[in-house]
Amino acid sequence: MNKIPISVIILTFNEEKNITACLDSIGHHFEKVFMVDSGSNDDTLNIVKNYPVEVIQHPFENYSKQRNWAFKNLPIQTEWILNMDADHRLTPEIITELAFQFKQGISQSINGMLASRKTLFMGKWIKYGGHYPTYHAVIFRNGKGFCEDKLYDQHFKVDGEVLKLNGDIIDLITESLSTFTLRHDKWSGLEALEQFEKQKINDATIKGSLTSKNPIAKRRYIKNIYERFPLFVRPALYFFIRYFLRLGFLDGRRGLIFHFLQCFWFRFLIDAKIYELRKTRNENK
């Protein structure tokens, strides 16, 4: 099979547990694979030596800046870019679909492609609770997409029409509950700060719209509504909707752990940190 004319970009930092399976899922199907590493000191770089990957080192400031730096500075020769993290896996179905799409020819009106994330948590596919399918614009023409300038919950914004793919990208949401809680503790602080500072919508962010054909814009619209609800009330409502009304309970015991942590605990922690920021501001007045 001819190589798919896409450059894959993977961001890494100490990903020795993930990078082998990630690169194995990519295989030799794509024109070029870049890895932008931010100073890994585990075995990540030694593992990558066994694969046809070009490694570039760049200090990490935040996810958005790292992605957008890569788009501007990597020697990308292909017209299309696929963005991955080390804990992502390409399914055989999406590789076959991409090969077919490019063999058939992509319309010039299409500048991006949406793929759904298939979340695996503690080895189980989280299928319910509104968590699948959730589409992300992970593929776009070089120069026609960028990462939102946000501290957390960043999405890729595409200039132009997008094509929705049927194949999935597997997202290993965590390697352990300890890793999950540590990461979400960090992310809750970033999200709390953005909500506290009430970051304004601009051309570098995706505007929420219920009528948009873009599923990311629809999710952003719903999130904007969520943020108008009172602190500490909204996490309980969100968990109730996702777990009961959207059938998250069908995901079983591991689904209960995931939905409770992701839909309630994480968002309650965000609210607690917003409350802390407000309290500190009022005390300093």
Q: Where are the domains of the chain?
A: 4-172, 177-283
Tell whether the model's pLDDT for residue 200 goes beyond 60: no
Q: Write out pLDDT tens, residues 155-164.
A: 999 999 999 9
Q: Write out pLDDT tens, residues 126-162.
A: 999 999 999 999 999 999 999 999 999 999 999 999 9
Q: Write out pLDDT tens, residues 42-80.
A: 999 999 999 999 999 999 999 999 999 999 999 999 999
User: For the residues 178-189, what does the mean pLDDT come to?
Assistant: 96
- CATH topology assigned to domain 4-172: Spore Coat Polysaccharide Biosynthesis Protein SpsA; Chain A (3.90.550)
pLDDT at position 202: 64
What percent of the chain is modeled with pLDDT above 90?
89
Task: Please give the full DSSP string across the chain, using - where no structure is assigned.
Answer: -PPEEEEEEEEESS-TTTHHHHHHHHTT-EEEEEEEES---SSHHHHHTTSS-EEEE---S-HHHHHHHHHHHS---SSEEEEEETTEEE-HHHHHHHHHHHHH---TTEEEEEEEEEEEETTEE--STT-SS-EEEEEEETTSEEE-S-SSS--EEESSEEEEEEEEEEEE--SSHHHHHHHHHHHHHHHHHHHHHTPPP-TTSPPP-SS-S-HHHHHHHHHHHHTTSPTTHHHHHHHHIIIIIT-GGGGHHHHHHHHIIIIIIHHHHHHHHHHHHHHHHHHT-
Q: How confident is the model at residue 199 (pLDDT cuts 50, 70, 90)?
A: low
